[in-house]
Amino acid sequence: MDASITPESVLSSVVRITEQRSQQHLEDCLVSTLMNLAGLKNRKTFDENFSRIIASSRHLELPYAGDRRNSHLAGEHHWLGIIDIDHFKRINDTFGHVFGDEVLLLLAALMRKAFRGEDLLFRFGGEEFVVMLAPTTFDNASVVFERFRTIVAGFAFPQVGRVTISIGFVRIQSDDLPSVAIGSADKALYYAKEHGRDQVCSYEQLLDDGKLAHDLHASGEIELF
């Protein structure tokens, strides 16, 4: 046994780790509270709000006579977007958690200004945010998310400077589970991250372009072979 390891040193390490975790917990609670004050909902309320969206979206899904792959292009739908701050860990490591938290709060404020009052805004934790757009067309949803990406990229964050975001979004279908919609939007987000960041990607568009494989199980279809 290493002679330098004593009960006192072990206890000291445990106390230090506990204090660090307590400090992180306090910071998380503070940011969560400030997000609520900024008007953003939290992850705990997401499922309930998602169920309401599903209930109200059923009348939006009318029969589509065109190519089924392009059905998301017809009419108005609810849309779910995941917003993720690019290189957020680098921001925390370089400038400290105080400025990292400030970036989160300023991003929340920018979201409140950029999106409509009927759109639902959530902070999911860490540097990840979720938006559920009220019914609109695919083209409008694309414009809305791209406009927000541009707003963030052009904003001067104190001390930190320029910050970029990546966004993946998907149409919310009337038979979706929350995990399915989140999973699809997350795949689009991952694609955006893997292909340069600072961009907006649509899950349906990536499928149509052959850049993502269609998940049969996630869509509720049955794979026979």
CA distances from 59 to 55, 66, 73, 123, 135 (A): 9, 19, 16, 28, 11
Instruction: Tell me if residue 127 is catalytic.
Output: yes
* Active-site residue identified among 8, 19, 127, 204: 127
Q: Which residue has the tokens 């961009």?
A: 199
Structure tokens at 171: 């149409």
Q: What is the DSSP letter of 130?
A: E
Other CB atoms within 10 A of residue 76 CB: 15
CA dihedral 85, 87, 91, 92 (to 10 degrees): 90
- What residues form DSSP beta bridges with 224? none
Q: What is d(CA 179, CA 124) in angstroms, rounded to the nearest whole number?
A: 13
- What residues form DSSP beta bridges with 121? 131
180-186 long-range contacts (CB < 8 A, ≥24 apart) are 180/218, 180/219, 180/220, 181/50, 181/80, 182/80, 182/82, 182/130, 183/215, 183/218, 184/215, 184/218, 185/80, 185/81, 185/82, 186/82
Which active-site residues does the annotation give?
127
